[in-house]
Amino acid sequence: MAPSRRILGIDPGSQCTGYGIVDVRGNDMSPVAWGVIHTHPSVPFPDRLYHIHAKLAEVILLHKPTEAAVENVFLARNAASALKLGHARGAAIVTCRAHGIPVHEYSAKEIKMAATGYGAAPKEQVEGMVCRLLGIREALPPDASDALAMAFCRAVTRDLSK
């Protein structure tokens, strides 16, 4: 029987960082957990980054993922937003690596392609497909849905090129 994998998908953001975890055994995949780590804009930015790190570390210690996936290219409204998003992404990656978890990066197009078969699919289509493919019947927060899509992408593309 194929070994089991537990994949943590992370959708980093300076105010909302989504996470989603899936178990994979052979061709079977099931959702384990998902959620959103919230920070408040009035909190000093270094403290927000630390909060992302600390809460993500709690998720890692609780669920013990064997690998992680994050988006490697992101869009932001402006340079300041891009920098903050990059810092949040860095905090998430370092948290995973500090716990010995390998991190794999995928483009938005790769993630959408894995979930829907169409690299330019709208977010709503990605969310709908991820829920269908993982058997989730409840509405998901967008950040958690994106994170599950990243975990799903890692699960189905593992042996292709990464």
Residues classed as catalytic: 11, 71, 143
Kindly list the distances between the CA atom of residue 105 and the CA atoms of 4, 39, 48, 132, 135, in Å, as whole numbers in the listed order: 21, 24, 23, 24, 25
What is the rounded distance in angstroms from the CA atom of residue 86 to the CA atom of residue 80? 10
